[in-house]
């Protein structure tokens, strides 16, 4: 698995070269049917509720922040950020999101969240300028990337000095291995592994964060690292 990954190129021409195993490209895993299956799967575990709970209670978002959701899928994190901005009556916050899979982006658009700059892109080759974002959030995407070091370096390039990134990562457990096999057989990392990779990608400060008590079961699924 994870045989190779190619970028989409800055011209955004679709070269479908991210392979998750010998036959299946990630776009095929998250095609129209895959999106529906994924959405039902995460709803079953109240994952959108837990993500929203974390964003509302643990994530610092400020006026005029530029926020990027990396590997946004159908938009669980983007929606939580959007609602948090509304609820806190923040002003001037600009949201962007990208994903490599066109069908995931179509599912995202169905949510009709106004004002989010949505793009199709490979994390390895992002169409954003250096130091564009105050806050980058990413959930359950890095597990699919063949070169996680390159992906994190690419995200770091887009983060402003002093900006923050929140990584939501599935734990490396047999149960997760089994549950996620139909979803591209992702490669999960331990907290120690992820912390080391973040350091080699240039992140100087990392801090483990937990889901609040009101969404405690997501601490069994995964963990959150805040990095800057």
Ligand X SMILES: C[S@@+](CC[C@H](N)C(=O)[O-])C[C@H]1O[C@@H](n2cnc3c(N)ncnc32)[C@H](O)[C@@H]1O
Point out which residues bind ligand X (CB under 6 A). Answer: 18, 26, 30, 42, 71-73, 76-77, 99-101, 104, 122-123, 139-141, 144-145, 183
Residues 195, 189: Cα–Cα separation, whole Å: 9
Question: Which of 93/152 has CB closer to ligand X?
Answer: 152
> Cβ 55 to ligand X, closest distance in Å?
12
Residues 213, 210: Cα–Cα separation, whole Å: 9
Question: Which of 81/145 has CB closer to ligand X?
Answer: 145
> Cβ 8 to ligand X, closest distance in Å?
8
Distances (CA, A) of 82 to 89, 111, 128, 167: 11, 11, 20, 18
> Cβ 130 to ligand X, closest distance in Å?
19
Question: Which of 19/61 has CB closer to ligand X?
Answer: 19
Helix, strand, or coil (residue 99): strand
213 CB-near residues (< 8 Å, 6+ apart): none
Residues 209, 139: Cα–Cα separation, whole Å: 14
Q: Which residue is nearest to ligand X (CB)?
A: 73
Question: Which of 54/203 has CB closer to ligand X?
Answer: 54
> Cβ 43 to ligand X, closest distance in Å?
11
């Amino acid at each position: 698995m994870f045989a190779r990954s190619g970028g989409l190129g800055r011209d955004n021409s679709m070269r479908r070269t991210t392979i998750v195993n010998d036959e299946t490209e990630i776009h095929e895993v998250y095609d129209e049917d895959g999106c529906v299956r994924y959405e039902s799967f995460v709803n079953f575990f109240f994952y959108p509720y837990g993500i929203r709970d974390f964003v509302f209670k643990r994530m610092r978002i400020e006026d005029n922040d530029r926020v990027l959701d990396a590997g946004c899928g159908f938009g669980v994190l983007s929606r939580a950020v959007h609602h948090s901005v509304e609820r806190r009556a923040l002003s001037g916050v600009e949201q962007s999101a990208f994903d490599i899979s066109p069908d995931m982006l179509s599912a995202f658009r169905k949510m009709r969240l106004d004002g989010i700059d949505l793009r199709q892109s490979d994390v390895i080759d992002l169409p954003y300028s250096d130091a564009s974002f105050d806050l980058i959030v990413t959930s359950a995407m890095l597990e699919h990337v063949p070169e996680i070091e390159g992906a994190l370096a690419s995200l770091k390039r887009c983060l402003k000095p002093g900006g923050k990134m929140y990584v939501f990562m599935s734990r490396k457990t047999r149960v997760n291995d089994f549950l996620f096999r139909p979803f591209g057989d992702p490669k999960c990392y331990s907290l120690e592994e992820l912390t080391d990779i973040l350091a080699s990608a240039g992140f100087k400060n990392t801090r483990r964060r937990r889901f609040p008590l009101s969404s405690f079961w997501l601490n069994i699924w995964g963990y959150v690292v805040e990095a800057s």
